Structure 1
């Protein structure tokens, strides 16, 4: 993620800020510029931009910004929408009458905005799903589970459902331990489930893409229900680390893709933050990797260099966490098989998603 600054006092601000902590000037994220903007309130609904690129232009905070303090994204004043591009993707919110649901909603939207920021950088921002038959749009349902009505996190036909309890740290940690996972975060859920969504989009747009997909991930036509049943009954295959990024990835090719896709997004976001922060790593031993950026990792032309940078950064992050008595920030091993899958994902985005001519189908915008 980029480094943002207040245009009023020039101090650093952050992606989730609503005001500058140095000068108290109002802040809001502007999708069109992919940056945090600085504003002066004109009236109850309108804010005036203090940014050099659109100084004096009027904007309005998202409805969920003004009324629920759930969001911090801005909309141009003449836009008929009252919700920002992030909040328009949310179809169902948790029942706000239930205990802690507002807090859960806040955490879910915060993670969703972080996920969406990276899709903007990759030029694959999803648009809201128009109706149930819209195969290219996306919507999110955030549901509270109950003893009589459990909620399963998952994706189906462009709708991603998240159990709002995943925003509860204690619940999520218990689930992580019960499932034998070494990583489980709200942001990770968004990235994993989005993998299923983008797989469907790619399959509809480019069915010939499946041939190479099957070479790396296997045949997705295998019975999904039976595959999951076998996985939960028998566990992962022996020596799964040689071929998969996680235990769950070996359950079915769809899950392998979604898990690997999520890890690609983890890499890109973390490396992009290091790139914009000007971080570099000098190896103290000749066999250790170092990290020097010669280009942005987003859409990098030399992905092998990007992978080398990732090895250096993740190794250092894990070492720093251990120094603080924390678990590894990136508790995974990238085998040669997994690296090939990551290369395939990068090629897919470079050759397909980043080309404007591939962003439309049947005269409708895809992303």
Structure 2
């Protein structure tokens, strides 16, 4: 019998290195000590204004600065560091992120990535945009935590940056397709409609479909271009994921006509990952982000639980892409903790008549691919360990 949440917390506290961005091991709290959350712009208890400070990666209480619309965040009162709210604070996006007052860009590090937003003349589209931005801000915050490059293709780096088009399909078509091309991520805003997204999920026979999942998948394509293409990682990628030079259109056609291979579960995290090496990378990348963010949240909130029986055989260091890597032991602790956590949360979801929280099974081949991604991310952040 194993105390699952206790085991997760103990393992991760022991394993995670102390050089990570500050505050990641503590749930956000207002100066009044009430809990506050990632999307909050003011404390529901004491009404203190709050803002997300992207350098410290925290939601912090704020006090008025020396000029109108200038703010001082908690912990910086003696540094003469001033912030202003993102220009989208008063828009339907309701952005709670902060921008340094000396930054010429009026939009925060998340909102400045937008190239096209939905028409705000349509109340439905405005509501969808808010849901989309909530998911995108969570994505961008995690990318910043990982130490990955996040710059705007619109206003900062036209060659290597990333930007987003949020488009709605015309009544008479054609339908907007969610995807990535050369740093431009397009999202069909109708995906923010729960009923539409659920219908598509059923039609596509998918176990999981969310806005955040879309963002994590598509940003994976972007980082393949940034971190794998024409780098020393490319040949290693081909050995593990397959040769991306395979005809992509032909691979899609084959998948839609014949379906996935019978044994896809042995080698891929999802049936869609079996379509083409690019999709295998993007799907695995998305799951890497799922695992890291969910376990980070569990750790920050110090979750505990009753003893549960270990239902699966734990992974070992030999299951990793590089068992000799210096962080191999920590990676195994993280992944095995994830398996334990999802075992309990899936059962909790079932007890409420809901879908599984994590309706996937991670094979040893998938774990090797995820560890490969961990090594790529580690190099991208200058060799500093993430876990």
Q: 2:132 — aligned with what?
A: 108
Contact 2:83 2:101 in 1 (8 A): yes
**Other-structure match for 2:251:** 227
Secondary structure of residue in 2 paired with 1:29: strand
Deviation at 1:75, TM superposition (A): 1.0
Q: Deviations over 1:91-133 (max 9, x none)?
A: 1001122340100110110000001111111101410015899
SS at match of 2:99: strand
Q: Does 1:94 align with 2:148?
A: no
CA distance in 1, matches of 2:334, 2:250: 37
Shift of 1:33: 1.2
Asked if residue 163 in structure 1 is aligned to residue 191 in structure 2, the reply is no
Matches within 5 A, 1:17-96: 17-41=40-64, 45-54=68-77, 57-68=81-92, 70-96=94-120
CA separation of 1:262 and 1:45: change in aligned 2, threshold 3 A: farther
Partner of 2:6: none
* Aligned counterparts, 1:274-285, within 5 A: 274-280=298-304, 283-285=307-309
Cα separation, partners in 2 of 1:131 and 1:65, compared to 1, 3 Å:
closer
The within-5 A match list for 1:164-313 is: 164-204=189-229, 207-280=231-304, 283-285=307-309, 302-313=330-341
Query: Distance between the aligned counterparts of 2:250 and 2:290, measured in 1?
Result: 29
CA change 1:300–1:110 in 2 (3 A) is farther
Q: Quick one: distance in 2 between partners of 1:73 and 1:66? A: 12
Number of residue pairs the alignment of both structures matches: 346
Highest relative contact order (Cα 8 Å, sep 6+), 1 or 2? 2
Query: When the two structures are superposed, what TM-score results if normalisation uses the length of structure 2?
Result: 0.84
Indicate yes or no: 2:370 matched with 1:342.
yes
Q: Following the alignment from structure 1 to structure 2, what is the Cα–Cα distance between the partners of residues 133 and 278?
A: 39
**Of 152, 161, 173, the match for 1:148:** 173
Deviation at 1:149, TM superposition (A): 3.3
Distance change >3 Å, CA 253–CA 183, structure 1 → 2: same
Match of 1:52, SS?
coil
Cα–Cα, structure 1 residues 44 and 326, in superposed 2: closer, same or farther, change >3 Å? Answer: farther
RMSD over aligned CA atoms reads 2.3
**Residues 116, 125 of structure 1: 8 Å contact kept:** no
Q: 2:112·2:154 contact (CA, 8 Å) conserved in 1?
A: no
The equivalent residue for 1:293 is none
- Deviates further, 34-43 or 184-193: 34-43
Secondary structure of 2:303 counterpart: coil
Match of 2:76, SS state, is helix
Q: Which runs of 5+ in 2 are unaligned?
A: 1-23, 315-326
